[in-house]
Amino acid sequence: MTLQTMSQLGEFVGGFGVIFTLVYLAMQVRNNTNSQRADMTARILERLSAQQHTFGFDVEANKFFMQCASDPTNLSIEDRSRFQWVMTEFLSSMEFLMQQYEVGNVEEQVWTRWAQTLDFWLSFPGVKAYWRGRATPYTDGFTTYIEQRLLINDYSFNVENYGSFMRTGQVPER
């Protein structure tokens, strides 16, 4: 074998090495991207879960929130201000979740579940009143989304059963 042939063989093998390295690097980047997406979803859901935990385990916080969501007309200005902060936190989390869904970082079933939850809360007069009187701007895309949901006015996902359960502790037979 001549020196020139060996050189060409070396370049050929080196080319495969470069290709192998690039394929390996692409796989690592993809795995890292998937890991970051999962982490992003987990962080968003942790924010929402923390709010749910507060209202689920703090009797006074739950009472306050349900009073505000159901009928904010008899609230003091201080209570309306507190409710505004709660709603800003919740809707900001929902806005971020929607943005991450739109760029492909959140699975459709996760977004659908929370979109239906958002629809449910939009059925409450206090949440609607907050939205219409909000002081905090949201992104154009999220604002349009909420405005469309309010126009559709379809909060059919289990609102009737929820109301029955909350009033009587029972759900109508199907």
Q: What is the pLDDT of residues 8-59, one digit of tens each?
A: 767 766 676 667 676 666 666 666 666 776 777 788 788 888 888 888 899 9
C-alpha torsion angle, residues 122, 125, 131, 135 (rounded to 10): -150
Q: Report pLDDT for 32.
A: 60
Residue 67: give the domain boundaries.
Answer: 40-168
- Residue 147: inside a domain: yes
Residue 97 lies in a domain: yes
> Is 100 inside any structural domain?
yes
Residue 30 domain-assigned?
no
pTM over 0.85? The answer is no
Residue 22 is assigned to a structural domain of this protein: no
Domain count, the chain: 1
Provide the pLDDT confidence category of residue 1 given band limits of 50, 70 and 90: confident
* Residue 85, in any domain of the structure: yes
Interval 112-139: pLDDT, tens:
999 999 998 998 999 999 999 998 899 9
Residue 53: inside a domain = yes
Tell me which of 125 and 173 has the higher pLDDT. Answer: 125
SS3 139: coil
Q: Quote the DSSP letter at residue 161.
A: H
In a domain, 63, yes or no: yes
CB 125, CB 73: distance < 8 Å? no
